[in-house]
Amino acid sequence: MAKALSAIDYLAAPDDYAPQPVNVVFGDEAFLKRHVLANLKRCALGTDDADFSLTVFDGTKTELVDVLDELSTLAMFGGSSRLVVVEEADDFVSRYRPELEDYVGAPRPTGKLVLETKSWPANTRIYKAVAAKGLSIDCSAPKAAQIPKWLAGWAKKTHGVQLVSAAAGLLVDLVGPELGLLDQEVGRLALSVGEDRKISAQMVSRNVGSWRARTTWDMLDAALAGDLKAALTQLDRLLLAGENPIAIHGQIASTLRRFAAATRIVLAGEAARSRVSVQAALEQAGVRSFVLKKAEGQLRHLGRERGRQLYEWLIETDLAMKGNSALPPRLVIENLLIRLAAPSSRVSAR
């Protein structure tokens, strides 16, 4: 069974992957989905009069019969087929799974179907059917360690600039792992490059390390010093200035992931009866030398129990801000800060 194609690989050369009679775009990274869907539309319909041959359905409401009717309708212009997109199609797929499995085996020749879903389990018959006869594209968010390399390639392909390795890493540290926000920053920096079309780390530090970035670090420093009041004051300043809560979380998450990794290194050393110092663990986790002393104090404030829970907390916070919680994003961030600022004795192990 063929694996789903990663969105990053697809976007690197979309013309190499022709739209099939049935296509599935799945995952949780909205930026990747938006660009994948745009390229599928372009490759399937071209640009002239494309909108006349495109139909988009809301998968939470639409019926299969309506989708099939559109797929059976000839395109209004030219000889191209129609493109029918079912957005938020998780429920749609669940309701019509047997019928869709049959459709993959005998699709309409007059139209191409795109199902946009959050999940697409690999152990289902329909996954295997599309893998064999269609095109499935995985738009899951890439791992944090992969983002700088992706960003450098994206900057060259999309914005025509060279983003040096150190600049890409610094951008991810400052902005966070949200691909859409990173793309916006690269686009803004691309307007200021010189004749060499190069974005350096110094340029990133000068233009992206704004007061908002510094305020975010001050907020995290206050929380990790146990000063919740100061941390919430800085959070209010950022939100009143229009900062995106997802970007705030992304920026602090880069530091907290290093603390989580350092905790695991310390615990693994203890389990192997080979003691690793907190400072050495932080160095192995990628903490820069000039902030090691401060980071050591912050990790000691957190303690091992919270340190081992950090990955879980970060995932919870990320999912909550992307729709898994009814709480407004400000309260989601606030809850994370409360967990970080609380005295160690008030945070129990899970």
CB 262 within 8 A of CB 284: yes
Residue 288 has pLDDT above 80, yes or no: no
Rounded Cα–Cα distance for residues 48 and 208 (Å): 39
Same fold flag, 5-138 and 211-344: no
Q: Per residue in 37-78, pLDDT tens?
A: 999 999 988 866 566 789 999 999 999 999 999 999 876 554
Rounded CA Rg of the chain: 24
Calculate the average pLDDT of the chain: 89
pLDDT at 349: 35
Edge-to-edge strands, sheet with 5-6: 5-6, 135-138, 22-26, 111-117, 82-87, 54-58
pLDDT surpasses 90 at 226:
yes
Distances from the Cα of 58 to the Cα of 20, 39, 92, angstroms: 21, 20, 9
Q: Are 7 and 138 in contact (CB under 8 A)?
A: yes
Other Cβ atoms less than 10 A from the Cβ of 266: the count is: 23
Q: How far apart are CA 144 and CA 251, in angstroms?
A: 12
**Residue 22: enclosing H or E segment and its boundaries?**
strand 22-26
pLDDT tens string 157-182: 999 999 999 999 888 887 778 898 89
- pLDDT bracket for residue 211 (50, 70, 90): low
| 121-130 per-position pLDDT tens digit | 999 999 999 9
Q: Which CATH number fits domain 211-344: 3.40.190.10, 3.30.310.50, 1.10.10.920, 1.20.272.10?
A: 1.20.272.10
Alpha helices in the chain (DSSP H): 7-12, 30-45, 64-71, 90-95, 97-105, 125-133, 147-154, 165-175, 179-190, 201-208, 211-224, 228-240, 245-271, 278-284, 292-319, 329-341
What are the residues whose beta carbons fall under 8 Å from the beta carbon of 129, sequence distance 6 or more? Answer: 101, 104, 105
Higher pLDDT, 332 or 175: 332
Identify which of 195, 146, 188 has the alpha carbon closest to the alpha carbon of residue 168: 146
Domain parsing of the chain, residue ranges = 5-138, 144-208, 211-344
Report which of 97, 48, 102, 53 is spatially closest to residue 74, judged by C-alpha positions.
53
**Inter-CA distances, 164 with 167, 198, 209, 298, Å:** 5, 7, 17, 31
**pLDDT for res 209:** 62
pLDDT above 80 for 347? no
Question: Are the CB atoms for 74 and 110 separated by under 8 Å?
Answer: yes
Question: Which DSSP string corresponds to 294-338?
Answer: HHHHHHHHHHHHHHHHHHHHHHHHHHIIIII-SS-HHHHHHHHHH
Residue 306, token pair as written in the block: 């919270």
Structure-block tokens of residue 114: 């795109």
Q: Average the pLDDT over 191-200 and give the result.
A: 92
What is the fold of 5-138?
A: Rossmann fold (3.40.50)
Half-sphere exposure of 336 (CA within 13 A, CB side): 29
CA dihedral over 214, 220, 222, 228, signed as positive or negative: positive
pLDDT grade, residue 92 (50/70/90)? very high
Give the fold, CATH level 3, of 144-208: Helicase, Ruva Protein; domain 3 (1.10.8)
User: Under 8 Å CB-to-CB from 306, ≥6 apart: which residues?
Assistant: 339, 340, 344, 347
pTM of the model: 0.65
Helix, strand or coil, per DSSP, at residue 45: helix
- The whole-number average pLDDT for the span 308-321 is 92
Give the pLDDT score at 79. 52
pLDDT of residue 147: 93
Q: What is the pLDDT of residues 178-195, one digit of tens each?
A: 898 899 889 989 998 989
Q: What is the model's pLDDT at position 287?
A: 84
pLDDT-derived band at 348 (thresholds 50, 70, 90) equals: very low
